[in-house]
Amino acid sequence: MLTQLYSSQGLEEGQVQRIVRKACGLGIPITVLKTEFCFNVAHSGELVAKDRTKIEWCLAEGGHKVSSKSQLQASGHDFVVEVGPRMNFTTAWSTNCVSVLRAAEVSSVERLERSRRFLVCSSAPLGEEQRARLISIIHDRMTEMVYDKPLVSFESGITPKPVRWIPLMKEGKKALEDINKEMGLGFDEWDYDYYLSLYRDDLKRDPSDCELFDFAQSNSEHSRHWFFGGKMVIDGVEKEESLFRIVKDTLQKNPNANSNSVIAFADNSSSIVGAKAPMLVPAYYSDASQEPGKPCHYVEAEIDMDLIYTAETHNMPTGICPFAGAETGTGGRLRDVQSTGTGASYVAGTIGYCVGALNNPADKKPYEDANWSYPSNMASPIDILIEGSNGASDYGNKFGEPLICGFTRSFGVRTAGGERREWVKPILFTGGFGQMNAKH
């Protein structure tokens, strides 16, 4: 069963005003935007009064009222739109809520998702295109969806497709070309030849669409390890070293490498020799009679702390959904910092953005062309900068890691020869400083 509870709490006023300004800038004549939260509570059996009281108390953040009746009522050409998490996965927010309710001895709640409801008031009725534009700026299209009516369950209605066998043994290379075009697998001539030989000559069977899709993801080269570690053939001559080996050799040939580099081309981060630092640590760090893992007092000690730094890009996700893409890029990099050695600590983060022509209405540049087209699944360059910056800072703030420096580049120009050069696919470069006990 699923019950809706509505909270008088909604988005903060600053968030609402940003949406209104952005909508007006897109030609959507919004005059008033009111918001509230809706809590969709999935529970087994009837929700008893005692459990409901506990749930409402837990959800009544900051003294806001929680009830079974919505405060947003539309009239005239005004309308209410609701957006929330997709049905096919449970959010971390829901998992935390259910865990808290379990601790409060509410065992009947199985899932609890929060959606956002907007009462849209405008000076004139909005057309379908204007509604679609508005909805696009109030939700994350990767992880959220529009609720056309109140939910009755979290069932997605999605039925898994049956596994399909690709007739490679019968049709040969053409079968691979067809499925590549249909599913957008990104195979090239080398892939066609390799997989044809693998299945026809070695495995002697047809591949499934699942197998080929999995190969495509493996080939996507998220970190380019396969490419940089592969054989390098130039003008028909295979080189003795791979690109990765050439890069690594710069460390081995550096006379100071062994004395300064602690970790390089291994683990989750690089590390160099640091210095002794006074730290408050458990007594077993300096007293051999104390047993690690047992209760003990803290003492001040001089600890050898090495410096670490790691960085990664999160380009395509940030281009499609800037806030979540930059947020998870920062989160993945934070994970790498802490996973170095047998444990390290993050200190501060850095960030960098490279995007296309901004076409900022308040700061037009003579070389920018507002008529240039962009992929429909990509956010605009100016939205990537604003929302990407918000996402990267948001994750760091939640972790307690300050963002201390970075860079921004915007470029899009038509050359004298007519060629368009631009960061259509953006670059999101996230880096982080950390420190690690030299023993780790």
**CA distances (Å), 274 to each of 335, 348, 364, 433, in order?**
21, 16, 47, 12
Tokens of 39: 């809590």
Q: Which pLDDT tens digits describe the chain residue by residue (440 residues)?
A: 899 999 999 999 999 998 999 899 889 999 999 999 999 999 998 889 999 999 999 999 877 889 999 999 999 999 999 999 999 889 989 999 999 999 999 999 999 999 999 999 999 999 999 999 999 889 988 789 999 999 999 988 888 889 999 999 999 999 999 999 999 998 999 899 999 999 999 999 999 999 999 998 877 656 556 677 788 888 999 988 888 888 888 777 776 666 788 888 777 888 999 999 999 989 988 788 888 888 999 999 899 999 999 998 899 889 988 998 999 899 999 999 999 988 899 999 999 999 999 988 888 888 888 888 888 888 889 989 999 999 999 889 888 999 999 999 999 998 888 899 999 999 999 999 999 999 88
CA distance 177 to 174: 5
What is the DSSP pairing of strand 403-410 with strand 345-355?
A: parallel
Where do the domains of the chain lie, and which CATH numbers do they carry?
A: 2-147 (no CATH), 168-224 (1.10.8), 267-437 (3.30.1330.10)
Report whether 116 contacts 82 (CB < 8 A).
Answer: yes
Of residues 10, 44, 9, 52, the one with CA closest to residue 154 = 44
Tokens 């982080």 correspond to 432
Task: Give the per-residue pLDDT at 224.
Answer: 59
Residue 331, classed as helix, strand or coil, is helix
pLDDT at residue number 225: 64
Closest CA to 346 of 301, 302, 400: 400
> Residue written as tokens 């006074």?
278
Residue 370's φ and ψ, nearest 5 degrees, are: -65, -15
Please give the model's pTM, rounded to 2 decimal places: 0.71
